[in-house]
Amino acid sequence: AQTVTQSQPEMSVQEAETVTLSCTYDTSENNYYLFWYKQPPSRQMILVIRQEAYKQQNATENRFSVNFQKAAKSFSLKISDSQLGDTAMYFCAFMKPDSGAQKLVFGQGTRLTINP
Amino acid sequence: NAGVTQTPKFQVLKTGQSMTLQCAQDMNHEYMSWYRQDPGMGLRLIHYSVGAGITDQGEVPNGYNVSRSTTEDFPLRLLSAAPSQTSVYFCASSKQGQALNTGELFFGEGSRLTVL
């Protein structure tokens, strides 16, 4: 079974700083997907960024980028120029392709606070 | 733009009572699933469905039942609530084959359940 580990329960940075959230995972699969989801205080889960394991290039979405190290099974999220609205729980998630069933395995989450 | 709608948003039960958490989506998504979120444990998959009439167990199915009589609805039933089922429950859906099963899930806003 796959496992996802987020070793940082909480992080706090000043507005405009850059912050990196860590995620490691364990799998024997070669083809899979990795995700970062954001959960603000409203509880709504929002997809931040997605990475396909077969792609060597790291995914980027505006201020959000990942450092995907397949051999090390590491998938960190970097938030540049952090904003107050980035304050949220962040979850790393793993999924192996399965016909029709998109079963995600989530990490424990990292609570990120952006201070003014 | 209703998306995924969960009801109720809050519920308090006594041990042994039964209840149903409702989930409806208006995006014609084949795949629907239920997760529970507990502090320090992230989100864990309870049950999922790849289409009407088809359901299967996730990681933590004990104490929960589901059915999928229509594409739109995927209710989660607690037959005899226990304090261990105190949690926040999320329904999520996705279109089967969406972007080659890239795993982007659309989440409801969550239902907070307390069992006394």
Over the stretch A94-107, which tens digit does the pLDDT of each residue have? 988 776 677 899 99
pLDDT band at B66 (very low <50, low <70, confident <90, very high): very high
Q: What is the pLDDT of residue B98?
A: 53
Q: How far is A107 from chain B (nearest CA, A)?
A: 5
pLDDT band at A44 (very low <50, low <70, confident <90, very high): confident
DSSP string, chain B: ---EEEE-SEEEE-TT--EEEEEEESS--SEEEEEEEETTTEEEEEEEEEETTEEEE-SS-TTEEE--SSSSB--EEESS--GGG-EEEEEEEE-TTTTTT----EE---EEEEE-
CB atoms B43 and A104 under 8 Å: yes
- Looking at this protein, which amino acid is placed at residue A16? A
Q: What is the pLDDT of residue B103?
A: 65
From chain B, the residues in CB contact with A105 under 8 A are 45
Check if B109 contacts A (Cβ < 8 Å).
yes
Average pLDDT, chain A: 93
Q: What is the pLDDT of residue A91?
A: 97
d(Cα B79, Cα B14) in Å, to the nearest integer? 12
| Residue A51, helix vs strand vs coil | strand
Query: Residue A38: phi, psi to the nearest 5?
Result: -110, 135
From chain B, the residues in CB contact with A45 under 8 A are 90, 92, 105, 107
d(Cα A104, Cα A2) in Å, to the nearest integer? 10
For residue B98, give the chain A residue with the closest CA: A100
Q: What is the pLDDT of residue B99?
A: 46
Q: Summarize pLDDT for A18-27 with one digit per residue, the tens.
A: 999 999 999 9
Which percentage of chain A shows pLDDT scores above 90? Answer: 79
CB atoms A107 and B109 under 8 Å: no
